[in-house]
Structure 1
Amino acid sequence: MAVDGNWNLTLNTPMGERTATLTLASSGSTLTGTQAADGDSAEIFDGSVNGDDVAWKVSITNPMPLTLEFTGKVSGDSISGDMGIGFMGSFPFTGTRA
């Protein structure tokens, strides 16, 4: 699938721009993988893929315990969309294939 592989993400957050790496694998409509930032890595969960549309969640502990909810679209070697940060709202993210 077009989404499979390694990605370098740029996240626009309330604390400024942050970077993360993302490894994705699709099987049918299920999306699995890992996301890493600031030396921490976590398995994604509730991942889905429908054509070029992707969605996943990841739980982080730094800078505070939160579940981030990503929804986006893959276009060739680019990915972009929104990252929901619970009570703080939604913020854009972009990425390129690593």
Structure 2
Amino acid sequence: MSVAGSYDCVTKTPMGDQKSVFTITDNGDGTFSGKNAGAMGSMEVENGKIDGNTLTWTMNMTVPMPMKLEGNATVDGDTLTGSVNAGAFGAMAMTGTRQS
């Protein structure tokens, strides 16, 4: 099953739960592109890689402060489970459900 799709996600951050829509586009060559769009704006996926059902990526956050985020997640059916590493803030749990 493809990992591609849009997922309704919640990330547990120091500022509380942040809801977003994480969009994954499978580029067909072991990489993916997409974005994570939430209340604080949208971040483009960079260096997106697909290994089976495991995803790794980076994003450059600008709000509320500039920071490079490193993400990893596993897609199991319609469920996405992973974390986003936010430098000094550490890893933040991220979960999502694929939109139908």
- Do both share a fold (TM > 0.5)? yes
Deviation, structure 1 residue 28: 2.3
User: What residue number does 1:74 align with?
Assistant: 75
In the alignment, structure 1 segments of 5+ residues that lack a partner are none
Equivalences for residues 1-98 of structure 1 within 5 A: 2-26=2-26, 27-38=28-39, 40-98=41-99
TM-score if structure 2 supplies the norm length? 0.90
**Shift of the alpha carbon at 1:59?**
1.2
Name the TM-score, length of structure 1 as normaliser: 0.92
SS at match of 1:87: helix
**Secondary structure in 2 aligned to 1:34?**
strand
Q: By how many angstroms is 1:39 displaced?
A: 5.1
After superposition, the CA RMSD in angstroms is: 1.2
Q: After TM superposition, what 4+ stretches of structure 1 lie above 2 angstroms from structure 2? A: none
Report if the CA contact (8 A) 1:2-1:74 is conserved.
no
**Identity %, equivalent residues:** 33
- What is the count of residue pairs matched by the alignment? 98
Paired residue type of 1:21: V
